[in-house]
C-alpha cells in the first residue's frame, strides 16, 4: 500500500477520533461520537492490515470473530447499571493487550523469528514502558471491576508498610526496566518487570474505596491510552500513538475534573482516600437535633402542592436500579404542570457520568439534566429538593466545618431549598464516615426505604390524588 495513502488514511482516522471525543462531550451527540470513533478505528485497522503486508489472515479473522461476538453479547446482556464494571473491564483489556503486544515484539526478536531485526535502546525502553503501564492497567482494572461488582471489598484497604512496599516495588520495576534496556537478551529481567507490574496494579488500586471509583476508572482509562501510545512506538505505528495519546490526555483531564469535584488531590485518592472513611458503617449520633420522617401519602401531597422541584440522584438510585421509577415520577410531575429538573454532582455514582448514563437509559430528557455549577444557584427558589440515595455530595458540613474530612468539597446546595426530602435506607454515614447534618435540618424530611420501592410508592400516591 502506498506510503502517502497510508499517512492520509491515518490522518482521516485521527480526525474521526478527535470529532468522536468532541461529540461525546454532550449527551445529545454521544451516539454520533461513538459512531465517529468506531469509523475511525475501522479505517485504522483496515489500513494497518494492508500496510503490514499480512500473508495469512486466519488468526486475524478468528480474533475479530471472537472479539465481535464477545463484544456483542456484552453490549446486549450488560444492563446500564453495570456500565461502571464494563468500563473497568474494557480499560483492563486495553492495558492487557498492550502488554501482550509488547511481549510479543520482544520474543519475535529474542527468539530470532524475524530476520534482520535487533534490539536498540529506543525499542527496549518502549517495550518496558508498554509492559509496565499495560500490566498495571490490566490488574488494576480487574480489581476496580471486582470492587464495583462486589467480588472485592469496596472499603479502603490498608495494611502496615503499604506505601513503602509500593514504592519499593516501583523502584524494582524502574531498575529492572533500565537493566533490560541495557541487556535485552536477559529474558528473566523482562519477565520480572512484568510480574512486579502486575502485582503493583493490584496493590495500587486495592486501597481505593468504592466511592472513589470515578477517579480510579478515569485514571485507569488514561493508563490504557498511555499503554497504547507506548505500544505504538514499539510497533512504529503512528495511528496507535495518536489514538493512545488522545485517550491518555482525555483520561487525565477527566481525572482532574473528578478530583476537583471532591476537593481532593489525586495522590490523596490513590493512597487510600479519607483517613476516617467509614464506607457506610453505622451512624454514631453526634449531631443534636430531631429527624423528621415522612410517608408516601403525605409526601405525595407535598409534591402536588409544589411548583419547582429538583431531583438529586446518587449512588443509592443506581444500587436500587430505580432510574425507571424516577423517570415515572418525573413524567407524572410534569403531567401535573410542575417544573422538574435533575441536579448532577460530578462524582455521584461509581464512574464519570454515572447518573447521566442511568437517566438517559431511562429516557429522561437530556435538557432536564443540569451540572452542579449550572443549577446550584436555583435551590433557594426551589419548593422541593428530592435527594435519592446521595449523601456526602449534599452534606452542608463541606461548606463550614473545617474539621470535616469533606471540608471544601463542592456540594449541591439542597439545604437552601424550601423543603428537602431525602430518600435513604437509614441514617448510616456515607463514604467519608461522617454524619450528614442535612438530615437534622428543620426543613428536611427523611423518606426511608429502598429507592425503587419508595419512588414507586410515591408515584402510586400521586396517581391517586
Q: Which residues are catalytic?
A: 392
C-alpha cell of residue 103:
511481549
Count Cβ atoms within 10 A of the Cβ of residue 143 and give its class: 0-12 exposed, 13-18 middle, 19 or more buried. buried
C-alpha cell at 112: 530470532
Q: Please name the residue that has the C-alpha cell 489500513.
A: 47
DSSP label at 362?
Answer: T
Do residues 322 and 349 make contact, with C-beta atoms less than 8 angstroms apart? no
Helix (H) or strand (E) holding 170: helix 162-182
Asked if 214 contacts 350 with a C-beta cutoff of 8 angstroms, the reply is yes
Please tell me the distance from the alpha carbon of residue 114 to that of residue 313, in angstroms, as a whole number: 57
Helix H segments across 206-349?
A: 213-235, 238-262, 266-270, 296-305, 315-320, 323-335
311, 326 Cβ separation under 8 angstroms = yes
SS3 385: strand
d(CA 217, CA 202): 14
Closest CA to 291 of 414, 451, 455, 427: 427
Amino acid at each position: 500500500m502506498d506510503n502517502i495513502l497510508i499517512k492520509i488514511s491515518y490522518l482521516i482516522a485521527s480526525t474521526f477520533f478527535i470529532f468522536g471525543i468532541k461529540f461525546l462531550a454532550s449527551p445529545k451527540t454521544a451516539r454520533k461520537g461513538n459512531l465517529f470513533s468506531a469509523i475511525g478505528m475501522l479505517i485504522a485497522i483496515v489500513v494497518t492490515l494492508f500496510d503490514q503486508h499480512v500473508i495469512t489472515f486466519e488468526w486475524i479473522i478468528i480474533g475479530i470473530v471472537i472479539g465481535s461476538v464477545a463484544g456483542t453479547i456484552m453490549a446486549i446482556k450488560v444492563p446500564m447499571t453495570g456500565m461502571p464494571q464494563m468500563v473497568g473491564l474494557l480499560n483492563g483489556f486495553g492495558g492487557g493487550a498492550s502488554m501482550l503486544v509488547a511481549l510479543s515484539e520482544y520474543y519475535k526478536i529474542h527468539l530470532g523469528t524475524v530476520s534482520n531485526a535487533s534490539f536498540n535502546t529506543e525499542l527496549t525502553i518502549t517495550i518496558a514502558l508498554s509492559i509496565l503501564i499495560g500490566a498495571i492497567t490490566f490488574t488494576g482494572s480487574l480489581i476496580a471491576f471486582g470492587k464495583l461488582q462486589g467480588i472485592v471489598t469496596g472499603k479502603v484497604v490498608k495494611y502496615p508498610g503499604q506505601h513503602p512496599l509500593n514504592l519499593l516495588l516501583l523502584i524494582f520495576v524502574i531498575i529492572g526496566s533500565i537493566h533490560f534496556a541495557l541487556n535485552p537478551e536477559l529474558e528473566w529481567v523482562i519477565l520480572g518487570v512484568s510480574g512486579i507490574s502486575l502485582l503493583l496494579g493490584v496493590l495500587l488500586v486495592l486501597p481505593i474505596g468504592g466511592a472513589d471509583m470515578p477517579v480510579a476508572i478515569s485514571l485507569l482509562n488514561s493508563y490504557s491510552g498511555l499503554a497504547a501510545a507506548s505500544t505504538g512506538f514499539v510497533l512504529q505505528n503512528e495511528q496507535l500513538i495518536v489514538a493512545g495519546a488522545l485517550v491518555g490526555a482525555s483520561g487525565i483531564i477527566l481525572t482532574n475534573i473528578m478530583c476537583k469535584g471532591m476537593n481532593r488531590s489525586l495522590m490523596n485518592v490513590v493512597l487510600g482516600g479519607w483517613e476516617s472513611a467509614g464506607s457506610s458503617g453505622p451512624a454514631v449520633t453526634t449531631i443534636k437535633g430531631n429527624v423528621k420522617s415522612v410517608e408516601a401519602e403525605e409526601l405525595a401531597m407535598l409534591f402536588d402542592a409544589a411548583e419547582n422541584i429538583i431531583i438529586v440522584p446518587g449512588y443509592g438510585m443506581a444500587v436500587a436500579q430505580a432510574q425507571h421509577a424516577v423517570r415515572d415520577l418525573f413524567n407524572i410531575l410534569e403531567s401535573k404542570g410542575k417544573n422538574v429538573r435533575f441536579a448532577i454532582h460530578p462524582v455521584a455514582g461509581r464512574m464519570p457520568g454515572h447518573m447521566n448514563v442511568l437517566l438517559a437509559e431511562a429516557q429522561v430528557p437530556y435538557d432536564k439534566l443540569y451540572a452542579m455549577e449550572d443549577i446550584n444557584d436555583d435551590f433557594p427558589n426551589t419548593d422541593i429538593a428530592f435527594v435519592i440515595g446521595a449523601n456526602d455530595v449534599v452534606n452542608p458540613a463541606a461548606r463550614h466545618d473545617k474539621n470535616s474530612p469533606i471540608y471544601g468539597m463542592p456540594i449541591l446546595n439542597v439545604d437552601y431549598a424550601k423543603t428537602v426530602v431525602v430518600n435513604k435506607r437509614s441514617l448510616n454515614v456515607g463514604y467519608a464516615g461522617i454524619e450528614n447534618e442535612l438530615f437534622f435540618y428543620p426543613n428536611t424530611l427523611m423518606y426511608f426505604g429502598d429507592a425503587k420501592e419508595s419512588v414507586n410508592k410515591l408515584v402510586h400516591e400521586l396517581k391517586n390524588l
